[in-house]
Homo-oligomer: A and B are copies of this chain.
Amino acid sequence: METVETGETPTRLSRRRERRKAEIVRVAISLLATSGYQGMGLDDVADGADIAKPTLYHYFSSKDELVSAALETLSNNVLNRLIAVLDDAPGDAHRDRLRALVNEQIRIMTEEYPEVGTIFAWQTSWPDMHDEARKSMRRRHDAVFRQVVVAGLEAGELDCANIDVALQCLHGIINNASIWLSQMKDSEQTLTTQRDLVSAVMRIFTTEHS
């Protein structure tokens, strides 16, 4: 949950370094989401993290390394929350587990990372060097959902003609919904919309509807 490469110096007061790093990454994720790769200026990152621009280079050797760290952190946080949902309800019906996953994903996007969809969208305009990281994220993210869908299909609880297409639809809906939902002012309406959204997604995977 901290950063990945810990382990060398178990614990020391260089924890401060990790805290700073995490703060910088947090700002970077936010800027990446709102402004895109080209729009994220190191000036803005430094401002947001309350440090001077050259100080960034004590933590990340280049803009692209910072971006990589941001992508990785973002991936891990999202995946961890999704996996936690599955762990919390290991015995549920597959249909309910899928519903829970979708619901959690939507909550992540409205509450914590309103912008994550724009980062991992298929979209290009990112340097090639990050393609692998973004593809990997999408793959791992897809695997979480796919595993539940496959089990549901085998158990006869779910039903869709083409699982690849169905999962693409799922990702499309979720990515698109992220910013749309986070722009709603009325919080009650937001909740209602979220519920309807989950239902709409479930339609893609089920024949009879609740």
Contacts and interface: CB of A to CB of B under 8 A. Distances in A.
Interface of A: 34-39, 118, 121-125, 160-162, 164-166, 168-169, 171-180, 193, 196-197, 199-201, 203-204, 207, 209
Nearest to A38: B38
Contacts of A180: 122, 168
Tell me how many chains of this kind the complex includes: 4
* Residues of A contacting B: mostly: helix
Contacts of A204: 200, 203-204
A174 B177 contact: no
A180 B175 CA distance: 14
A155 to B, nearest CB: 20
A200 B166 contact: yes
Contacts of A197: 165, 168-169
A162 B192 CA distance: 10
A74 B166 CA distance: 28
